[in-house]
């Protein structure tokens, strides 16, 4: 007797494209880094850059281009401009903060006789940048609340809107850290550069050392005291430089993404 073999037909779910999966993985990494207490700005910006590298790959796929309607494309194009604006503003604030730190370093190294006024100038500059960050943050949130977009779906468009939202959150988190810092000036720079746990004691000590230098401006300041502050400032400058470079890379990625959206719309 010949045995009969019945092949059962199984309906399998549509396979996720590796490029789409890569975007989802980086998106989850970014969200996790934002909620982690030990995460710093450089790490978050690095993940954000990698996320937009994956988005660029996704936009080159014919399936992605065919899946977007005109209204979806227009929505993405509008939001891409807002992302460019907030990224550019954040990058400029980082650059100016770095300049403030470098100027203070220079004053300490050349043993300026006007150190008291130099520290006051540093505080004044960081307070101005704090206000600028606050203004940029409010503008971003106001524009976002006024936006009217097509309803995101469980699709490529929905994924791109998630990327958009997560990107805004990352930039707004950086701006919020700057604008919400204490008005004395020092923590304006330090607060968002370091992790919430590991570097808190170190930065608190550095702030105290700077304030000691200011209060003792007419007294003899030891070489050790100055070197301590210079070491902290050098580390801060390095962190700012790293973040500024990441922001520059992200800005260029966002420009490329906007061009891709425009090309999709025109074709």
Tens digits of per-residue pLDDT, 192-223? 444 444 443 444 455 566 677 776 655 545 67
Query: Higher pLDDT residue, 134 or 55?
Result: 55
**CB-based burial label for 67 (10 Å; 0-12, 13-18, 19+):** middle
Specify which of 56-70, 134-148, 170-184 reaches the highest per-range mean pLDDT: 56-70
Query: Of all helices (H) and strands (E), which one includes residue 191?
Result: none
**CB-based burial label for 14 (10 Å; 0-12, 13-18, 19+):** exposed
**CB-based burial label for 27 (10 Å; 0-12, 13-18, 19+):** buried
Whole-angstrom distance, CA of residue 6 vs CA of residue 27: 43
Q: What per-residue confidence (pLDDT) applies to 148? A: 55
Whole-angstrom distance, CA of residue 258 vs CA of residue 246: 18
**CB-based burial label for 248 (10 Å; 0-12, 13-18, 19+):** middle
- On average, the pLDDT of the chain sits at 77
| pLDDT above 90 as % of the chain | 31
Averaged pLDDT, 82-98? 92
Do 147 and 62 meet the contact criterion of CB atoms below 8 Å apart? no
Whole-angstrom distance, CA of residue 136 vs CA of residue 124: 19
Minimum mean pLDDT among 44-48, 158-162, 244-248, 263-267: which range? 263-267
- Sequence-distant (≥ 6) Cβ neighbours of residue 181 within 8 angstroms: 130, 187, 188, 191, 192
């Amino acid at each position: 007797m010949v045995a009969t073999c019945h092949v059962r037909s199984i309906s399998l779910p549509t396979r996720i494209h590796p490029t789409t999966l890569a975007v989802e993985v980086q998106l989850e990494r970014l969200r996790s880094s934002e909620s982690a207490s030990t995460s710093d700005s450089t790490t978050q910006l690095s993940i954000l850059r990698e996320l937009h590298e994956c988005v660029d790959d996704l936009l080159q796929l014919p399936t992605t281009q065919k899946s977007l309607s005109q209204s979806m494309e227009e929505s993405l194009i509008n939001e891409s401009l807002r992302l460019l604006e907030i990224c550019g503003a954040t990058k400029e604030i980082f650059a100016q903060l770095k300049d403030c730190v470098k100027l203070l370093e220079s004053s300490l190294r050349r043993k300026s006789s006007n150190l008291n006024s130099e520290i006051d100038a540093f505080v004044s500059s960081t307070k101005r940048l704090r206000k600028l960050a606050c203004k940029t943050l409010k503008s971003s949130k106001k524009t976002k609340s006024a936006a009217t977009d097509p309803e995101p779906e469980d699709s490529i468009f929905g994924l791109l809107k998630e990327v958009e939202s997560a990107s805004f959150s990352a930039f707004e988190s950086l701006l919020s850290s700057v604008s919400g810092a204490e008005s004395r000036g020092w923590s304006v720079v330090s607060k968002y550069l370091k992790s919430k746990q590991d570097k808190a004691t170190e930065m608190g000590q550095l702030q105290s050392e700077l304030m000691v230098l200011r209060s003792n401006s007419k007294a003899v300041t030891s070489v050790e005291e100055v070197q301590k502050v210079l070491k902290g400032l050098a580390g801060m400058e390095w962190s700012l430089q790293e973040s500024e470079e990441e922001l520059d890379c992200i800005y260029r990625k966002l420009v490329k993404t906007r061009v891709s959206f425009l090309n999709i719309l025109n074709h």
